[in-house]
Structure 1
């Protein structure tokens, strides 16, 4: 079955943390850099991500552009665009 890329905006992270802690994530920063890893913790100011080398990255939510992960459940998320 195909996978779908799910994009989560910084203001949606706290409400979706139960899903995000189960997924390998790509954290895209405002400067264009991307960090791959697993979500360890999140609060109103920052998130902590552990990469594949077991290095922890503390990322300020203000530096965050979006979080992207693969969803293999086959469920299509609702569109962000009213016309779609």
Structure 2
């Protein structure tokens, strides 16, 4: 679903890598950034992946009280 989509991979150390998602497996994700560099990021180093879904739908909050 997200393959070829532009994403921000936020790492556990606070760094962010922006690029298009090329592949995902159980151990790593692979991105290609805007300078055409490939980044292989271990899943163990990922904090979150941020992307636009372009559906104009705001999902309900997962946090109580909001």
TM-score clears 0.5: yes
Aligned residues: 66
More helix by share: 1
Partner of 1:61: 43
* Higher relative contact order (Cα pairs below 8 Å, separated by 6+ residues): 1
- 1:8-66 deviation line (CA, Å, top 9, x unaligned): xxxxxxxxxx1x21421011001111110011000111100111111110000000000
Give 5+ residue unaligned stretches, structure 2: none
For residues 34-53 of structure 1, the aligned pairs below 5 Å read: 34-53=16-35
RMSD: 1.3
* Structure 2 Cα separation of the partners of residues 40 and 22 of structure 1: 6
Q: TM-score, normalised by structure 2?
A: 0.87
